[in-house]
Amino acid sequence: MPWAREMEARGVILHDGAQLQPVATATTVRTSGADILVADGPFAETKEVILGYDVIECADLDEAIFAASRHPVARDGGVVEIRPILAY
């Protein structure tokens, strides 16, 4: 992937990533007290669809924004969401 090679050359570390299966394969899991609620379909009711994910390590938000702006999804008119990893 040209994007991954470009990011690695900049020192951005690609930890993980994968393409996701279609929305029709989604299962949503919720809990309510001790009950586990399972539903077929995606969690979000939206016209946007998550196609995949990449976990990268950047020096700061500016570098993450640059990496996202160069991602093939963003360059093809899609949206890339940036989220920090929740540390426990």
Whether residue 64 contacts residue 56, with contact meaning beta carbons closer than 8 Å, is answered with yes
Q: Tell which residue, 73, 45, 68, has the closest CA to residue 58.
A: 68
Structure tokens given for 39: 């539903």
**Which residues partner with 31 through β-bridges?**
36
Question: Which residue in this structure is represented by tokens 């890339």?
Answer: 80
CA-to-CA distance for 50 and 81, rounded, in angstroms?
10
**pLDDT at residue 47, rounded to an integer:** 65
pTM over 0.75: no
- The parts of the chain modelled with pLDDT lower than 70 are 23, 28-30, 41-48, 86-88
